[in-house]
A and B are shown apart, each in its own frame.
Chain A
Amino acid sequence: MSTSLPPILLVEDNPMDLDLTLRAFNKRRFINAIEVARDGEEALAYIARWDAGEPVPAVILLDINMPKVNGLEVLDRLKHHPVYRRIPVVVLTSSREDRDLAAAYDLGVNSYIEKPVSFNKFMEVADQIELYWCVTNQRGLT
């Protein structure tokens, strides 16, 4: 059963954040598999894998501030992709800069969430993300 559920793609460069995020998801005991990309390049590499038939994620959680290719570039590429632009992308970042917000929404992000400092709050956020994007939300055809 677990295999039939689409995974969640988490793009995060900071190892501590990555760890905490995974832990937060684990704590909530969600059943979707979580795939991880450590930077933008890796994230974009997923496109080829999806083309090859790997399951397309239910939602992509995208950090913005990353080395090499940053989150906004990834978002730009994804949202200009003829097929994968329908994958919901949630920016999960510690930036609350208007600049970043505006740029993300301009590029077609589906949601923009600031990482809370409190771990408890972070867990709530993870909970809501999974509930909304993996359970409630109807996926586009990909």
Chain B
Amino acid sequence: MSLARRLLFLPGRWLAPLMLAVFALLAVGVSYLIQSSELDASVQEQETRRLRERLSVEQSRLSLQSDNARTQLVRRLVGGMGLYVGMRSVYLVGRDGAVQASLTRSDIGRDISLVLGAWPDLARAMSTREHSQAPMGIDVWRVDGADWLLGSAPLTDGRRLLAVMDLSYPLAQRQAAINSQALRDGLLLLALVAGLAGVMHLVWFRRANRLMNTLARMGEGQLDARTGLVGGDELARIAAEADRMALRLQSQQAQIRQLADLVDRSPVVVVEWRNAPGWPVTYVSRGVSQWGYRPQDLMNGVIRYADLIHADDVNRINAEVEHYFRHGPDDYRQEYRLRNANGEWVWVEDRTTLRRDEHGEVVGISGILLDVTAQKMAELAQREQAEMLRLFYELPFIGMAISAPDTRRWLQVNDRLCEILGYSRDQLLTMTWSEMTPQPDLDQNLLLLEQVKAGMRDGYQMTKRFLRRDGHVVYTEIEVRAVRKPDGTLHRLFATVQDVTERRLANEALREQKDMLEQAEVMAGLGSWSHDTRSQDTWWSTQMYRNIGRDLAMGPPQGLAGCLACVHPDDRRSLLTTMRAIDRSGQSDTLTLRRHPDLGPARWFRARLEHHPLPGGGWCWRGTLLDITALQEAKSELERSNAELEVRVKERTQQLSLANRELEAFTYTVSHDLKAPLRGIDGYSQLLAEEYAPQLDETGQAYVARVRHGVQQMGALIADLLDYSRMERRTMDLQPLELIPLIRRVLDENSADIERTGASVSVCVSPMVLRLDREGLAVALRNLVSNALKFTKPGQVPIIDIGSTETESGHVLWVRDQGVGFDMKYHDRIFGIFQRLQRSEDYAGTGVGLALVAKAVQRMGGRVWAESQPGQGATFYMEFSR
């Protein structure tokens, strides 16, 4: 920076005095220069004038002294001129050019030209002057090139007065005067400038400085700073304006602060976000502390706002915000949940304003958050309550309705009411309740309604009937409440309707039951009673009166003593003993007693007594009294006949065991004595056939064969019969039995027949262990298998399946064949003994086999049956319970 610029930018308080000083010195300098330049001329002019004046004076003086007589005087006069300052030489030159008087004595008399010859300049000036000018007047001129003035004044007589005056002295004198003047002026001006600077500093710069400092403080935010300048100058006015500005700013700031304070104290939380990665929070009002956060934590990024939003809301909010970013509007509301510092969730309503730049890009978001948890909760609670009310209204056990009092039309009904009345909701809403109320209930109901309308009551309750849609009558209990308008007139009727048909039916049933019970009491002759020892209250059932023979109108007897008086004196002791025993043990007991003989003919009772403690102390005795007079009479009769019966039973038992023994002996005999001759017949007939074949012709041999066949038939019959009888008599030995090995054994026993017939037998039995009699089951299976092998269709190979199934009731074992089968109408017959459905020449057999199966299964506690159709094979089932 150049010096000039540096100077220019000097503070005014320096620049102004400096400039003033410079200007003052400059002025002094100029003035000095001007004076100096005019010095020579002015001195010449002044001295010229003075010289002329002197010469003029001297001219007149000297002219008077024109005669030579007064030479001395002239000389003095001329000499007196030497007293003048600067007068160098004075010559009085005579006409002849000789010097008549001079300051210098030596020159007197000398030619002037000679005298002046000592100063060539002077001489030259003289001569030029004399030649150019008329010597009439006083003439003064400057000698060129010297500081001399030459004056010439003509005198009378041709004389001339010449005066040479030296200018050096006045010149020097004037120079000195100018110099001192300039110095004085300079100093004075400097002093003035200094004074002025002082004054300016005092008056202007100090104030300016103060103004500046104050403005600086204001700039720094100290709006309470004031300049404090007074006066009418510019500074004071600027200061006043600054003060005014500061005051206004201060009040505005106070207002802002108040607003901020208001914001901070309000439940509202103001948050501002800047559009930068992560959306940093730039401002949070102090209200955020209501959620336990510090504003600076949010602003410093210690806590990320986005992290506080409920995970369920984040996506929705982001989607909405994106939408608003793109399509506006810039002011919108959102509701979401925030986690507070305690980890609880609060609902906030976020009123958001988007800030956009000139290109429409969002630069920031301002949000005003309001904690609406309470409202939200209240809203939820209200919704819940409404839902509960709705649910309550729709509860399936009570009908509810709202109706208009004038039209009696249903305005609102719930499902239960529809159900009770049998109409759909839509139908009900087009109907009135009066049209479905039968008489006389309707009149009664309308009367109550009129009373409500008249304001005599606020509601009513009644039991009434409704006609259902299906024509049935439904009994209900209704409760009606009036809802009135502010002016007291009836607005709506709220009604609950309860279907009491069932209760009514139940009550009727109860009454009927009570009647029946009473009838039963009468029929049974069973009276019941109770007695409260505390209140001494006694209650007797109706039958009690009949039993004892007491008039019902008399009421029960007084106290226990009264009751005891009804008992036969001989039985009182046992009654009291029993009661004492009950008192001790607390258990009920029975005894037989009679009524008092005075009350009528002897009557026997079976009394049952018990007692219960009463809540407040004391006892409640309860009991029944059963009339057993007939029983008692019958008992003695029975005892008699029992004795007879016993004798008879003994006799019969003896007879029976005898018969049993005989039967056993019979079967034993059959087994032995009947079989022995048979064996003989068979043996000998065979011997006959073998050893006497030559003696017998063909017919004889055929006879022998028939004999033998008959014998075998009979042997088989006897054997089967014995088996059957044995099965009937033998004791069953039930024990765990593995089924499959048993079936194997039975099949092995029949293997000869199976091979002979070429039968195919398949066994599909799940391994099981049954608790059965081994022999019994073997007999049953054996007979079933041999049956299946036997009853095949002519020319067919028997196919037998043995299988098992599990049923709910037990195990079922079955044997199926593809044989001739039978008609199901003979189902029951086939299990009877000696029952045959086939001719014996077609299928040999004794007719005992299935009977034996049935007997064996029955003895083992099982069940046997068959399914078949003629020609379709048969299946025989045996079922044993688990």
Q: Which residues from chain A sit less than 8 Å from chain B, CB to CB?
A: 14, 16-17, 20, 23, 65, 93-98, 115-120, 122
Q: Verify B715–A117 contact, CB threshold 8 A.
A: yes
Q: How far is the CA of A69 from the CA of B712 in the complex (A)?
A: 31
Q: How far is the CA of A17 from the CA of B682 in the complex (A)?
A: 11
Complex contacts, B678 vs chain A, CB 8 Å: 117
Tell me how far the C-beta of B700 lies from the nearest C-beta in chain A, rounded to whole angstroms.
Answer: 18
Could you pull out 17 A-B pairs where Cβ atoms are within 8 angstroms?
A14-B676, A16-B683, A20-B680, A94-B672, A94-B679, A95-B668, A96-B671, A96-B719, A115-B675, A115-B679, A117-B675, A117-B679, A118-B712, A118-B715, A119-B679, A119-B687, A122-B679
- The answer, among B679, B686, B711, for a CB contact under 8 Å with A16, is B679
Q: B730 within 8 Å of A by Cβ?
A: yes
A119→B726 contact, CB < 8 A: no
How far, in angstroms, from A14 to B286 measured CA to CA in the complex? 132
Inter-chain contact A94/B730, CB cutoff 8 Å: no
Q: Does B722 contact A (CB under 8 A)?
A: yes
* With known contacts A14-B676, A117-B712, A117-B715, A95–B682 Cβ distance under 8 A: no
A-B pairs under 8 A by CB, number: 61
Is A16 touching B726 in the complex (CB atoms < 8 A)? no
Residues A94 and B683 in contact in the complex (CB < 8 Å), given A16-B676, A117-B678: no
Q: Which of A23, A65, A94 is the one whose CB lies under 8 Å from B687?
A: A23
Q: Contact at A96–B682, with CB atoms within 8 Å?
A: no
Whether B683 and A122, one on each chain, are in contact in the complex, defined by CB atoms closer than 8 angstroms, is yes
Which of A20, A95, A98 has its CB near the most chain B CB atoms (within 10 A)?
Answer: A20
User: Which residues from B are CB-within-8-Å of A115?
Assistant: 675, 679
Q: Give the docked Cα–Cα distance between A142 and B667 (Å).
A: 39
Given contacts A117-B712, A118-B712, A120-B686, contact A98 B679 (CB under 8 A): no
Distance of A9 Cα from B718 Cα, bound (Å)? 29
B678 → chain A closest CB, angstroms: 5
A117-B715, A118-B712, A120-B686 known; A95 and B679 CB under 8 Å? no
A98 touches B730 (CB 8 A): yes
Which chain B residues have a beta carbon within 8 Å of chain A's beta carbons?
A: 667-668, 671-672, 675-680, 682-684, 686-687, 711-712, 714-715, 718-719, 722, 726, 730
Q: Is the CB of A94 within 8 A of B680?
A: no
Residues of A close to B719: CB separation below 8 A: 96, 117
For residue A98, which residues in chain B have a CB less than 8 angstroms away from its CB? 726, 730
- Check if B671 sits within 8 Å of A16, measured CB to CB: no
B775 to chain A, nearest CB (A): 9
Chain B neighbourhood of A118, CB < 8 A: 682, 711-712, 715
A117: B residues at CB distance < 8 A: 675, 678-679, 682, 711-712, 714-715, 718-719
Q: Which residues in A have their C-beta under 8 angstroms from that of B682?
A: 117-119
* B715 and A94 contact, CB distance less than 8 A: no
**CB-nearest residue of chain B relative to A20?**
B683
Bound: A41/B683 CA distance, A: 27
Asked whether B668 lies within 8 Å of A17 as measured between CB atoms, the reply is: no
Give Cα A78–Cα B671 distance, bound, in whole angstroms. Answer: 26
Q: Which of A94, A95, A122 has the most CB of B within 10 A?
A: A94
B685 and chain A: residue at smallest CB distance: A119
Contact A94 B712 (CB under 8 A): no
What is the bound-complex CA distance between A118 and B679, given in angstroms? 6
Once the chains are docked, how many angstroms separate the CA of A120 from the CA of B683? 8
List the 3 closest pairs (A to B, CB-CB), nearest first. Answer: A117-B715, A119-B683, A20-B683
Alpha-carbon distance between A95 and B726 when the two chains are bound, in angstroms: 12
A97 touches B726 (CB 8 A): yes
Bound form: Cα–Cα A93–B722 in Å = 15
Which residues from A are CB-within-8-Å of B672? 65, 93-95
A79–B712 alpha-carbon span in the complex (Å): 36
Q: How far is the CA of A94 from the CA of B672 in the complex (A)?
A: 5
* Cα-based distance from A17 to B667 in the complex (angstroms): 20
